Amino acid sequence: MDALQTHVHAHVVQFLDELSRLVRQPSVAASGEGIGECAALVAEIFRTAGATLTVFTRDGAAPLVVAEFPGAGQRTLLFYNHYDVQPPDPLGEWTTPPFQPTVRDGKLFGRGVSDNKGNLISRLSAVRTLQAVHGGLPCRVKFIIEGEEEIGSVHFEEYIADHAAALAGDACIWESGSRDTKERLVLVAGVKGDCYLDLHLETATMDLHSSIGAIVDGAATQLIWALASLKDPTTGLIRVPGFYDRVRAPTAREREELRRLPFEEEEYKELHGVKRFIGGKTGEAAKHDYFYMPTCTVSGFISGYTGPGSKTVLPRRAAAKVDFRMVPDQDPQEIATLVGQHFAAQGFGDIAITLLGGERAYRSNLDDPFIHLVAHVAAEATRREALVYPTSAGTGPMYPLGTTLRVPIVSLGDGYWGSRAHAPNEHIRLADFEETVYLMARIMQEFGRQP
């Protein structure tokens, strides 16, 4: 054990206490619950740790917290994180309440313990460790901590455009990261985009008796038809005309990288109780789709009577939420427009469409030295493999950060294959958290040594 490792191990309970304090503060971006309070708590925690704080605000936006630590040299390492979390529903499926962080079997459970408060605190704990062991940081460090990541970072692009100078840096560690079932570290150098639509249909001025069903279709039936038309049940291909027009095919290099990387399909199926993939795909074909193809998922639907027993009603209203994960160079606003045109062409032009969140996809240059540095430290310090995926299947605001601040971006974090981000019983393994604190400290060291 080196001095950093020793320090982290001796203080990990303290670091976890700080994480628990942050998890106890709800911060649900979807509903707005606790967002302001959580931004204030994050600012207080970083101020107490010695950071210089800047809290940017915009009308109707969650505050953007920027925390800077001085360090050696001229170069600044950016950490991108977020203090907001996913809604905790369905509440009944949590073993312990989502906002009461609880340790069981060497794991810490709670909404946000992984995504993303755990990652945020692991990085702050690395800063504290370097300060304690070496009396200061080997590089300048800047945390960029937003509060709307889980609703599509709706104001992040504007924050970056308006405050590019204040947010500038030389390289960026992205919000999170995982370990696969073989304990290999999983890093990503890109993200998919997202287009999240709220759909609402009203077909009458009142709920009707279902005896009228021979001559009137209810809102549920009509919205079901509209949604069913979005995607082919057999191939999984999206049937919205123009949807694939802007899709940029992965480069030969990106395809080759992906071919060399593992894809734990059987483990995934077993862990999640999934029987088969779309179109019965397996192996390279499933891996390709997972990383390089866009998606169309109904994330929510409600209409009519959903209580116990029966109610013979023909519902006047139906509402749905649809999530499209996009690839370069698809544009969320354009996708929303295409979906509207498609609905109208199918006879469902009455459906009101609201774009709740839109983000573009992004892929870093895989040859950037910073990406190699992070992967090298991760592998060397853990003596395990570190896999750099050209893109995540998930989303985040890499596009505005990467294109405006012009920095290489790669992720590394405290999660593992079973962390259940976005689901009930989200958790991290305490050992992963400790390892991540150490890795972050080592990355700062190596970054400080680079010219």
Q: Give residues 202-241 in contact with a copy of itself (rule: CB under 8 A).
A: 203-218, 220-222, 224-225, 227-229, 231, 233-234, 236
Residues paired with 102 in a beta bridge: 109
Nearer Cβ to a copy of itself, position 35 or 409?
A: 35
Q: Is the backbone of residue 385 left (phi > 0), alpha (psi -120 to 50) or beta?
A: beta
| Sole residue written with tokens 């050209």 | 390
CA distance 365 to 410: 10
In whole angstroms, the minimum distance from the beta carbon of 199 to a copy of itself comes to 12
Among 240, 278, 283, 233, CA closest to 263: 283
Residue of 255, 321, 372, 376 interacting with a copy of itself (CB under 8 A): 321
Confirm or reject binding of residue 349 to a copy of itself (CB under 8 A).
Answer: no
DSSP string across 186-201: EEESEEBEEEEEEEEE
Confirm or reject binding of residue 60 to a copy of itself (CB under 8 A).
Answer: no
Q: Which of residues 393-412 bind a copy of itself (CB under 8 A)?
A: 393-395
The β-bridge relationship of strands 76-82 and 140-146 is parallel
Residue of 62, 108, 113, 318 interacting with a copy of itself (CB under 8 A): 318
- Say if residues 197 and 356 touch (Cβ distance below 8 Å): yes
CA distance 278 to 275: 10
CA distance 22 to 117: 7
In whole angstroms, the minimum distance from the beta carbon of 101 to a copy of itself comes to 20
Among 105, 129, 138, 135, CA closest to 10: 129
**Listed ranges 44-52, 53-61, 89-97, 377-385: which one lies at the site for a copy of itself (CB under 8 A):** 89-97
Confirm or reject binding of residue 2 to a copy of itself (CB under 8 A).
Answer: no
CA distance 176 to 325: 18
The pattern of x and - marking residues 12 through 51 that bind a copy of itself according to CB under 8 A reads -----------------xxxx-------------------
Confirm or reject binding of residue 371 to a copy of itself (CB under 8 A).
Answer: no
CA distance 185 to 158: 33
**Listed ranges 135-143, 167-175, 293-301, 432-440: which one lies at the site for a copy of itself (CB under 8 A):** 293-301
**Listed ranges 1-9, 66-74, 286-294, 380-388: which one lies at the site for a copy of itself (CB under 8 A):** 286-294
| Sole residue written with tokens 């891996």 | 287
Confirm or reject binding of residue 296 to a copy of itself (CB under 8 A).
Answer: yes
Confirm or reject binding of residue 417 to a copy of itself (CB under 8 A).
Answer: no
Nearer Cβ to a copy of itself, position 135 or 273?
A: 273
